[in-house]
Structure 1
Amino acid sequence: MSSSKLPSTSFENRAKSSATRNPISLRLYKVLGTSYNEPAIREALETLSELYGAPKTNKGKAVDHEEDETGTLDAIEAKVSGSGRLISSGSGTAARARKGLRRDAELKLTQGSQQFLRAFQEVDKMFCKSILMGCASLLDQAGGLRSARHTVSEQQATVNNFLARFTLAQEEAESLQSRDSIIDAQFLRAMHNAEQIIADARLLMTGEDGPTKAGVDIITTASQQIEQGYDKLTRWCSLEFRQFVKDALLEVTPIMREAIKWLRKKPELLSEALSSLSQTRQSTLMNAFMDALTRGGPGGLPRPIEIHAHDPLRYVGDMLAWVHQCIAGEREFLEGLFGLKGDRRMVGSVRKFDDSEEEGWIRELMDKAFEKLRYPLKTRVRQTVRSQESCIASYKVANLLSFYNLTMRRTIGDNAALSDTLNEITDEAYQIFYDTVEAQARSLARTLLPDDQNAQPPVALLDHTQVLREMILVYKSSLMGGESEDELRKGFQSILDLMVDAAVNMCLSVSDARQTQRPGWDNDLFVLNCLTHLLNVIRSFPFAEYKAKELQTDIDARAELLITDHLNNILRDTSLAECVNVCASNTAEPISRIGAMQSQPLSLALRAFAVWLSTPDVVHPSRLVPLLDRRLAENVHHAALHSLVDVYERICAEVRRPENKYEAANTILGAQRPFGNLSALKQILGVEVTSASRQP
C-alpha cells in the first residue's frame, strides 16, 4: 500500500508546484481569493457599471453614445451576493469591456475633459470680462494708493526732518540728563544743538498765527534739557576747580575752556563755579606762601625765605619775587581759562586793560586769590622796614618795594586789592626813609667844626654825599627803561632836594660859624668847594640835571664874588688899591695932588706892582690853591688878571692926562715894569684883553 500511495502523492506535489509557477493559475487564485466587500472595490465596480450600463432612449431606455466608434456595450450589472461572487448580466459587454477598458476609460475621460473645456470657456469669458472690470478698478485704486503712499512718504520725511531739527537724539538727551559728571565733546555738541533748537523754535513761532502749541512744547522741552546741561556743567566745573591745589595742575583743557564759555551765558552759575575756584586758589596760595617762608621747596630747595631775614633787602625781595611769580602764573592761567590771548608784552611793561567781561572776571578772581596773602606779606615787610636804622638800607628796601609795586600794578592794575597793600607798605617804607634822611640832615646841621679848619669839605659832608651817591645808584638800577625825563626827575626829586638842600645848609652854617671864630678864614673857598663837591656827585645823572643847574648857578654867582675879592687882594698886594680908589673918585682937583696918586706914592706903588709881577702868584696864586675845581680857580684868576690889566691901563691913562698935571709922566710910568706898556703886561700875565674890558 505504501508503495502504491507514494507515486500518487508525488504527483500531487508536482502538480501543486507547477501550478504555483503558472501565471493563469496564480491570477485565478488571486481572483478567487479576492473579497469584493471593500468600499473602494465596490465604488470601482459601481463606476464601471455606470460606464458600461445600457443606454437610455427618450423613453428611458439605454442608448449608446459612441455607437460608430465602440459599438453598443452590453449592460453589466454587477451584483454582489452575500458570498461576494460577481454576477454578470451580459457576457458580450463584459468581454468587450475587458478588451477596451483602458480605451473606454480614456475616451470617457476625454469626453469629460471636453465638457469641462466648454464649461471653462464660458467661465473664462465671464471671468475675463469680470477681470477686466475688476482690473480697471484695481488699477485706479492702485494709482490712488501710490499717490497716497507718496504723500505719506513725503509727510513722513517732513516729520522726520522736523523731529531731527527740533528734538535731540537719544544719546544727546541722555548726555544732558544723566547724573554722571562726565563732560565731553558729545555733551557740548548736545548743548549747542539744544540751544539751536530753541532759536529755531522761536523763529518758528514768529508767524502770523502767533505761538503754536508745538513751538511752545519744543521750547519747553529743549529749555529743560539745556538747564539740566547747565547744572551738570556747574557741578563739573566746581569739581574740576577743586583739583587746582598745586601750580603744576594749572592747565586749562579745551573742554574746560568751552565749559566756561557756556557758563558765561549764565552769570549766576558761572559765579557759583568760580567761587569754588577762588576759594581753592586762595587757600592754595596762602599755604604755598607759608611753605615758601618756613619750609622751602621740595627737598629743601629753594631754601626757606625766612632764613635770610637778617638781610632785609634779600628777605623782602624774595617775598615780593615769589608773589610776583605767582601773579604771573595766576594771570596766565585765568587768561587761558577765559580764552584770552596774551598780549606778548615785555616783563614790567604796562598792560593794556580793557573793559571786557572777561577782564572783569579775571580781576575779581585775582583779588580773591591773593586776599589772604596781603596780611602776612604786609606784616613781615612792615617789621623789616621799621627795624632799619640806616637810610641807605631803608631806601634800598623802599626802592625795591616801589619797583615791585610798579611791576605788579602793571600786571594786576591799580584797582586791585593787592595793589592797595603794596601802595600802603611802599608809602610807609618811604616815610620811614624820609624820617631817617631828615634825622641825618638834622645831625648834619649839628656838625662840629674840625680842628684844622681848612677850606676842604668836612668829613660829614663827604659821608653825606657818599650816601647820596649810593641812593642815586640804587635809583638808577631800579629804572625799568622807557621812562620820560619828567618821570625820571619826579622819581628822585624829593630825595635829591632833601639831601642836597641839607648839605648846602650844613655848608652855609659851618661857613658862618667859622667866619665868626676865624675872621681871616676864607669863607668863599669853603662854600665853593662844598658846592663843587655836591655838583660833581650829581652832575652825571640826567634826572639830577635840574639840581645841578641850581648848584652851578650858585657856584657862578659865588665865583663872580670871588673874582672881585681876588682882584681886591691882588690890588692890595700890589699897593694899587689906593690908586684905583683915587682914580675912581669924582673930583675937580687934579689927581696928581691927591693921596696915593701923588708922584712919590705912585712911584712906590708901581715899584711894589713890579715886584709882585716877579712872584709865583702871577701864575699860581696861593689863595686859590685850596679850590677843588682847578678850572674854576684858573677862571677866577684869569678874570682877576683881566681886570688887573684894565686897572693898570686906567692908571696909566690918568697919569698921561694933561689935566692931572703930572711932571715927567713917562718917567714915572717907565721907571718900573711893565714901563707903562700894556702889551708887555699882557705877556707877563699871559692874558689877552678883549675890547669889552672888565671893570673892577
Structure 2
Amino acid sequence: MATGSYFPPPGASSSVSPRTSSPASSPLSPPLQQRSNALSNRLTSVLSVSYADSDIRDALETLNLRGIHNTAEVRRQLRLDVQKEVVDCNAEIVRDFGNVAEQLKRIGSVISSLKETCDEMRKHIVLAKQDTNPVLEEASALMNQKQEAETKQRLLDAFTKHFIVSDEELLVLASVEEPINDEFFDVLARVKQVHRDCEALLGAENERLGLELMDKSSRSLNSAYQKLYRWIQKEFKSLNLEDPRISSTIRRALRVLAERPSLFHSCLDFFAEARDYVLSDAFHYALTDAVSGGDNAVKPIEFSAHDPLRYIGDMLAWVHSTTVSEREALEALFVDEGDELAKGIRAGLSSEPWSRIDEDAEVTFDGQKALSDLVSRDLIGVARSLRQRVELVIQGHDDPVTCYKVVNLLSFYQTTFSNLMGPNSNLADLLQALEKFTLNHFQTIMRDDVSNLSTDHSALAPPHDLSAPQFLLDSLEILTSVMRAHEASLGTDELSTTPGIEENKFTPVLHAALDPFFSLAKSSADELTNPTARAIYLTNIHITVRSSISPFPFATATHLPPLSSTLSTLRVELLEIQHRYLLNTSGLQVLITALQTFSQSPGSGTDQDLAAIAKLAAFQPEALVAISQQLDDFLPSALMDATDNLKRVQNATFVKSVTEEAVEAFCRDFEFVEGMIIGADEARCIGQADGAVAEDEGDDKDEKGSEQEQSLRRLFPRTTGEIRVLLS
C-alpha cells in the first residue's frame, strides 16, 4: 500500500514552528500546554487505532486511489473536495426524493380507485352471501348426515363381520357330512368368541340383540359339540393304538370336547368300554389260541395251566405288557395335552356348573391320574378274567411252596403295577387281593396238615434216637424252601433287619408254617417219662428249628429270641443231668450228700465239727476205700462215658460245652470233698495232741493202729489236680 506517503519521511521539514518543536527550551504557557495535551491525546488515539480496522483500511484505500500525498496543501484541498462532494451528493438525493414523491402521488390515486372497486365488490359479496346462506346450511346438514351414515355403515360392517356367522360356516359346524378339520375348529373358535362377546351387548340399552345372538350361538355350539362327540366315538372304534402317533385331529378334538365335561367323560366311558372289549378278546386269544411269532409258533398260555407258577406268571406278564403298551399309546392324549385338557375342563364348568362336585374346590386336571384311571378301566374285563383264573388255579393246588412262590410273584407284580399305575389303581388292588387270597390258601394248607397230624398218633410218637420227628423235618424242609423263595424276592434294603422290630411281612408265614408243627413236636415230648430223654428230645427239636431259621434274618427277628431262651433252659437241665451222672458214676455223690448235711448244720466249720466227719458212715474205712476204688475205675473213661451219656443230642458242639461245664462242676465238688477230708484229718490230729498230755505213750502198736484209723487222706488219696488232668 501507499499509505506511507501520508506521513513525512524522516528529516523532512515540518510545518510546526521551532518554538513548538522543543517544548523543553522555553516554558509553556497554559494554553500551549493544553494544546500540547490535546495533540498528545490525538496522537495517542491515532496510534492506538489498529491498521486492521475496516474503516481506516477503507479510508486509506480511498486516499490511495486518489494518489494524494501527505502535504499541508493537499490536506487543505482535500477537505474542500470532500465538502463539495457531500453537497453534490445531497443535491442528487433531493432530486431522487422528488421523483419518489411523484410516484407516491400516482400510487395514492391508484389506491383510491382500488378502494372504490373493493367497496363495490364488498356490496356484491354481501348480497351474494345473503342469497347462498340457506344453501350452505343445507349442504352442511347433508354432509353431517353423510358422515353419520358412513359411521353407521362401518359399525354395521364391523358388527356383521364379528357377530354374524354365515350360513356356510354354520353348515360346517352342524352338518354331519362336513369333515372335522382345521376349518371346523376355526369356525368353532369364532362362534365361541361371538358367544363370549355377546355378554358385552347384554349391558347395552337394547338387550334383545345380545339375547338373540347368544341364543343363536349357543345352539350352534351345542350342535358343534354333538357333532364332535359323535365323530370322536366313531374314530375311537377304528383307532389303532399300535400306531405310536395318534392323529393330531383326535387330540385336538379331545381338548375342545373337554369344554363340555359331560360329553368328554361320556366319550371316555365309550372308549373304555370299546377298549375293554378289545383287550378282553385279546387276552382270551392269548390264553386259548396259538400266537404265531416268526418261524416258531408260541403256545397258548393255557398249555402251562398244570404249572401254577408259570401259568400265573405268563398271564401277569401279558397283562403287564398290555398295560405298558396301552399307557404309552394313550400318554399323548392325557400327559402331553394335560394342560390344555385342564383349561378346557375349567372352561366347561362355567357352561355346565352342575358338573362341579365341590363349588369351593379348585378344579385341577392330573393327566397322569386320568391316564391311569382310563387304562384301569380299559383292563376291567382282563382283570376280572385274571382274578377268576388265578383263584381257580390256587384253589386246585395244594403244594405250599408253590403257593408261596405265587404269593411272591403276585407281590412283585403288585409293586410293579403300583409304580406304573398308582397304589390305588384297580390292578394294584386286584393283585393285593389275589396275594392275600393266595396267602390265606397257603395258611389253609398248613392248618389242614396240622389237623391231619393231630389225629395221627404214630406220626407224633418221638423217634427211638430222640431226634426231631419226621413231620417237623418235613415242615422245616417246606419252610426252608419258602424262606429261600422269600429271600430271592427281596431287595438288599428289605433283607436288612432293624433291631427292635419284631413283626415283618414274613411273620404270618412263620406262624402258619412253623409254629403249629413246632407246638406239636414239643407236645409229643410229654410221652417220654425219662427226664433225660425228654430233655434230649426237646433239645434236638429246638436245635433243629434254630439251625433251619438262623440263615434267614427276616425269620430270626421274631422266633430266634424265644428259641435261644428255651435252649438256655434246656442246657441248664442237661448240665444238671450230666453233673449228676458224673457224681453218681464216680461214687462222689455219696460223700457230697454226707458232707452237705454236715456242712449245713449250725456252727459247721470249726475244728470239732470237722473232726466229726470221720464218724459219718460214708467216711468209714471200708466205705471210703470202696468209693475210692469206684472213682479209680471211673476216671480212665469218665469223659468218654459222660459224652456218650448225651450222644443222642444232635449237636456235638452243644454236647461238648455241656460236658465241659459238668466236668468243671464235678471238679469243684471233688475239691470240696478233698478239702473236707483234709480238714477232718487236721482237726482230729489237733484233738488227739491236746489229749495226749495226761496219757501214757507206752504201746507203739496201738498208736500206729490209731494213726491209721484216723487218717482219711490215706483211704482217699486222689487229688483235685489229678482229677482235672484225667478229665481234661
Common fold by TM > 0.5: yes
Match of 1:295 in 2: 289
Deviation at 1:560, TM superposition (A): 1.4
Amino acid at match of 1:305: I
Match of 1:268 in 2: 262
Deviation at 1:224, TM superposition (A): 2.2
Q: How does 1:233-382 map to 2 (within 5 A)?
A: 233-244=228-239, 247-249=241-243, 252-299=246-293, 301-339=297-335, 365-366=374-375, 368-382=377-391
Q: Does residue 652 of structure 1 match 2:674?
A: yes
- Distance in 2 (alpha carbons) for counterparts of 1:667 and 1:140: 170
**Could you say which structure has the greater relative contact order, defined with CA pairs below 8 angstroms and 6 or more residues apart?**
2
TM superposition score normalised by structure 2? 0.63
Match of 1:224 in 2: 219
Q: How does 1:372-451 map to 2 (within 5 A)?
A: 372-405=381-414, 407-408=416-417, 411=420, 422=431, 425-444=434-453, 446=456, 448=459
Match of 2:21 in 1: none
- Distance in 2 (alpha carbons) for counterparts of 1:444 and 1:662: 68
- Distance in 2 (alpha carbons) for counterparts of 1:488 and 1:164: 79
Match of 1:33 in 2: none
- Distance in 1 (alpha carbons) for counterparts of 2:162 and 2:519: 89
Match of 2:63 in 1: none
Deviation at 1:481, TM superposition (A): 7.0
- Distance in 2 (alpha carbons) for counterparts of 1:503 and 1:150: 108
Deviation at 1:220, TM superposition (A): 2.1
Aligned residues: percent identity?
22
Deviation at 1:378, TM superposition (A): 3.7
Q: Does residue 188 of structure 1 match 2:188?
A: no
Q: Give the direction of change, closer, same or farther, for the CA distance of 1:224–1:611 in structure 2 (3 Å limit).
A: same
Structure 1: 5+ residue runs without aligned partners? 1-126, 343-353, 687-696
Match of 1:571 in 2: 583
SS in 1 for 2:506: helix
Deviation at 1:573, TM superposition (A): 2.2
Q: Give the direction of change, closer, same or farther, for the CA distance of 1:550–1:452 in structure 2 (3 Å limit).
A: closer
Q: Give the direction of change, closer, same or farther, for the CA distance of 1:420–1:532 in structure 2 (3 Å limit).
A: same
Q: Does residue 473 of structure 1 match 2:469?
A: no
Q: Does residue 205 of structure 1 match 2:227?
A: no
Amino acid at match of 1:214: L
Q: How does 1:535-546 map to 2 (within 5 A)?
A: 535-544=546-555, 545-546=557-558
- Distance in 2 (alpha carbons) for counterparts of 1:431 and 1:284: 33
Q: Does residue 498 of structure 1 match 2:512?
A: yes
Instruction: Provide Cα deviations, 1:187-239, integer angstroms capped at 9, x if missing partner.
Output: 334433433333333255357x5x72332233223222221221121011101
SS in 2 for 1:265: coil
- Distance in 2 (alpha carbons) for counterparts of 1:247 and 1:301: 25
- Distance in 1 (alpha carbons) for counterparts of 2:186 and 2:682: 119
Contact kept? 1:305, 1:319, Cα under 8 Å: yes
Amino acid at match of 2:511: D
- Distance in 1 (alpha carbons) for counterparts of 2:504 and 2:723: 52
SS in 1 for 2:514: helix
Deviation at 1:293, TM superposition (A): 0.9
Instruction: Provide Cα deviations, 1:256-280, integer angstroms capped at 9, x if missing partner.
Output: 2332233233233224322331221
SS in 1 for 2:242: helix
Deviation at 1:420, TM superposition (A): 6.3
Q: Give the direction of change, closer, same or farther, for the CA distance of 1:177–1:386 in structure 2 (3 Å limit).
A: closer
- Distance in 2 (alpha carbons) for counterparts of 1:601 and 1:356: 101
Deviation at 1:555, TM superposition (A): 1.3
- Distance in 2 (alpha carbons) for counterparts of 1:666 and 1:340: 111
From 458, 464, 468, the equivalent of 1:457 is 468
- Distance in 2 (alpha carbons) for counterparts of 1:377 and 1:435: 22
Deviation at 1:494, TM superposition (A): 2.2
Q: How does 1:34-45 map to 2 (within 5 A)?
A: none
Contact kept? 1:395, 1:433, Cα under 8 Å: yes
RMSD: 4.5
- Distance in 1 (alpha carbons) for counterparts of 2:638 and 2:291: 74
Deviation at 1:635, TM superposition (A): 2.7
Deviation at 1:546, TM superposition (A): 0.9
Q: Does residue 615 of structure 1 match 2:637?
A: yes
Q: Give the direction of change, closer, same or farther, for the CA distance of 1:592–1:143 in structure 2 (3 Å limit).
A: farther
Q: How does 1:583-594 map to 2 (within 5 A)?
A: 583-585=595-597, 586-587=600-601, 590-594=612-616
Amino acid at match of 2:276: Q
Moved more, 380-389 or 483-492: 483-492
- Distance in 2 (alpha carbons) for counterparts of 1:285 and 1:576: 86
Match of 1:635 in 2: 657
- Distance in 1 (alpha carbons) for counterparts of 2:131 and 2:271: 81
- Distance in 2 (alpha carbons) for counterparts of 1:669 and 1:676: 13
- Distance in 1 (alpha carbons) for counterparts of 2:675 and 2:468: 44
- Distance in 1 (alpha carbons) for counterparts of 2:480 and 2:178: 65
- Distance in 2 (alpha carbons) for counterparts of 1:176 and 1:666: 134
TM superposition score normalised by structure 1? 0.66
Moved more, 330-339 or 556-565: 330-339
Amino acid at match of 1:507: A
Q: How does 1:507-586 map to 2 (within 5 A)?
A: 507-513=521-527, 515-516=528-529, 519=530, 522-544=533-555, 545-585=557-597, 586=600
Instruction: Provide Cα deviations, 1:348-386, integer angstroms capped at 9, x if missing partner.
Output: xxxxxx995767765664554334335543443333223
Count of aligned residue pairs for this structure pair: 544
Q: Give the direction of change, closer, same or farther, for the CA distance of 1:529–1:355 in structure 2 (3 Å limit).
A: farther
- Distance in 2 (alpha carbons) for counterparts of 1:507 and 1:491: 25
Amino acid at match of 1:326: T
- Distance in 2 (alpha carbons) for counterparts of 1:676 and 1:417: 79
- Distance in 1 (alpha carbons) for counterparts of 2:620 and 2:478: 60
- Distance in 2 (alpha carbons) for counterparts of 1:317 and 1:410: 18
- Distance in 2 (alpha carbons) for counterparts of 1:676 and 1:547: 43
From 151, 173, 177, the equivalent of 2:174 is 177
Structure 2: 5+ residue runs without aligned partners? 1-123, 339-362, 603-608, 686-706
SS in 1 for 2:298: coil
Instruction: Provide Cα deviations, 1:375-409, integer angstroms capped at 9, x if missing partner.
Output: 54344333322332322233333443444455446
Amino acid at match of 2:661: A
SS in 2 for 1:248: coil
- Distance in 1 (alpha carbons) for counterparts of 2:320 and 2:161: 53
Amino acid at match of 2:267: A
Contact kept? 1:252, 1:336, Cα under 8 Å: yes
- Distance in 2 (alpha carbons) for counterparts of 1:363 and 1:237: 21
- Distance in 2 (alpha carbons) for counterparts of 1:648 and 1:566: 15
Amino acid at match of 1:456: S
Q: Give the direction of change, closer, same or farther, for the CA distance of 1:478–1:341 in structure 2 (3 Å limit).
A: farther
Moved more, 148-157 or 328-337: 148-157
Contact kept? 2:546, 2:563, Cα under 8 Å: yes
Contact kept? 2:522, 2:541, Cα under 8 Å: no
Q: Give the direction of change, closer, same or farther, for the CA distance of 1:419–1:294 in structure 2 (3 Å limit).
A: same
Amino acid at match of 2:719: F
- Distance in 2 (alpha carbons) for counterparts of 1:367 and 1:611: 85
Deviation at 1:617, TM superposition (A): 1.0
- Distance in 1 (alpha carbons) for counterparts of 2:492 and 2:143: 86
Amino acid at match of 1:224: R
Contact kept? 1:610, 1:673, Cα under 8 Å: no
Moved more, 533-542 or 230-239: 533-542
Q: How does 1:93-242 map to 2 (within 5 A)?
A: 158-167=155-164, 173-180=170-177, 182-206=179-203, 212-242=207-237
